[in-house]
């Protein structure tokens, strides 16, 4: 077992994950892995069935050992949430209880907002089969329910933690939804694209492709629409101009050979 | 093993999940479970290490057997994507390749858009350790990369499928981000809330709580701010008025007993 890493540098604005009566050590390990993926570090265990620490949790954590090393055990859910300002609980089953219900996406943002306001946040996850009791659900101000296929609603505990942690992380992530990963290359300028298109049109006029002349404008528009749909990089423009040159030269040399 | 369910009624606008050289049958089962959670049904396997069908996949699927029963096996990735119009690939590792990179959230929407346009969409997921080769990544127009903690980027194959399927489902889901689950109860009207507040103020005037009189307006505002922060239901208003009545009556009867 690795030496415990101190939790002192942990992000206290991040939600605490609280597993209530967890059963399989492997699932506890997978929860730790999912937490590490999305920057969470504080894990609390309420009355774990097989005690704690529990060595089989480690291989399932795939290296997120520091979370398992720092996990704290509580005898009751009440004690596990005593120091928290805001408590969420995950459940798929609506009970006869009046509760605010949030999607994981909304909860990701509302947990961030609590953290920014300096409040400590925790999320309760029930045991594998039994879930949370009504008495435990009452301790939470907010229920998180994952919208999913009505035909197949069973999410395991590690999947539920993964989705909540994912949404918490995404709420503060600024990765562009869509971007062109182009290494050192940059998007071509309009001038460079236009230079290529004029080069192509010139060679296609010479080669006789743009005939009859009255159809040439329409054909040119079609050709332009192919290349202008692309986000051409500077290096793409150089490559395309090289291709034109090469095809023209090959055609000329082939022509010479024929004669 | 359950009788195969026909895939004929499957939603063909949903993305096909393609596992390239998957290793553990258990992971294939977990992928099927994650697909079922979010309404996906078509699974393709490229050169599964241990052959197919592979019985240990079934317990891990937690009942999503129809997806495993209908899974198709292909010798190469090229054959597995041949009939698709749009191919995505998931990878954490940026390669020396110029590619459009989308977040799972953006891809959830863009896959929906393809589906609405009648295009068949597939998503490639690499093997547990090896991932996808550059030749396989080239087959995809779009890379999906999950934004996650830079300290811990390893996502297993079932987690990656879960997040992609989750975002595809959410892109068309209309669950309110936050709602009050209140069963048959309804939100109180302003009239009902005002009736309760006037009732409370009247009793507190009689009881002497709102003294001295020059402080009464400020005290009333504080009291109103407590209850107006809540989304009171009609039944909450009845409960609160019952509480006031009960406390007043108790006080009176205790007073009578004293004299």
**A–B interface: beta-carbon pairs under 8 A:** 143
Q: Cβ B37–A149 below 8 Å, yes or no?
A: yes
**Subunit contact B163:A166, Cβ cutoff 8 A:** yes
Which of B179, B197, B187 minimizes the C-alpha distance to B233? B187
Beta strands in chain A (DSSP E): 16-20, 43-46, 72-74, 86-90, 99-102, 121-125, 142-144, 178-181
Task: Find the CB nearest B183 among A39, A63, A98.
Answer: A98
CA distance B180 to chain A (A): 4
For residue A6, pLDDT over 70 is answered with no
| Residue A240 Cα, gap to closest chain B Cα (Å) | 15
**Which site among B27, B177, B183, B185 would you substitute to test the A interface, given the most A Cβ atoms closer than 10 Å to its Cβ?**
B177
Tens digits of residue pLDDT in A223-250: 998 888 888 899 999 999 999 998 888 7
For A125, phi and psi rounded to 5 degrees?
Answer: -125, 130
- Say which residue, A247 or B111, is predicted with more confidence: B111
pLDDT, residue B163, reads: 98
Chain A CB contacts of B169 under 8 Å are: 147-149
* Residues B184, B177: Cα–Cα separation, whole Å: 20
pLDDT in tens, A58-94: 999 999 999 999 999 999 999 999 999 999 999 876 6
DSSP SS3 for A61: coil
pLDDT band per the 50, 70, 90 thresholds, residue A3: very low
- Whether the link from the prior residue into A167 is cis, omega within 30° of 0, is no
Distance, CA of B149 to chain centre? 20
> Residue A152 CA to chain centroid, in angstroms?
23
- Give me the pLDDT at residue B94, please: 60
């Amino acid at each position: 077992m690795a030496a415990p890493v101190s939790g002192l540098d942990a992000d206290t604005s991040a939600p605490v994950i609280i597993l209530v009566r967890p059963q399989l050590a492997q699932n506890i390990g997978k929860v730790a892995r999912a937490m590490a993926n999305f920057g969470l570090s504080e894990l609390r265990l309420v009355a774990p069935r097989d005690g704690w620490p529990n060595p089989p949790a480690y291989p399932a954590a795939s290296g997120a050992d520091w979370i398992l090393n720092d996990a704290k055990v509580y005898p009751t859910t009440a004690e596990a949430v005593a120091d928290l300002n805001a408590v969420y609980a995950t459940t798929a089953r609506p009970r006869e209880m009046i509760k605010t219900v949030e999607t994981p996406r909304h909860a990701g943002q509302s947990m961030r907002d609590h953290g920014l306001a300096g409040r400590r946040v925790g999320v309760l996850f029930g045991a594998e089969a039994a879930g949370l009791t009504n008495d435990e659900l009452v301790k939470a101000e907010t229920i998180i329910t994952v919208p999913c296929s009505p035909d197949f609603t069973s999410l395991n505990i590690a999947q539920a933690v993964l989705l909540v942690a994912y949404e918490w992380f995404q709420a503060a992530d600024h990765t562009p939804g869509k971007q062109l990963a182009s290494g050192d290359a940059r998007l071509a300028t309009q001038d460079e694209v236009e230079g290529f298109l004029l080069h192509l049109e010139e060679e296609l006029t010479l080669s006789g492709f743009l005939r009859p002349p009255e159809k040439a404008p329409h054909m040119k528009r079609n050709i332009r629409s192919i290349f202008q749909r692309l986000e051409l990089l500077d290096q793409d423009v150089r490559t395309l101009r090289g291709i034109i040159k090469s095809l023209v030269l090959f055609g000329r040399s082939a022509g010479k050979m024929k004669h």
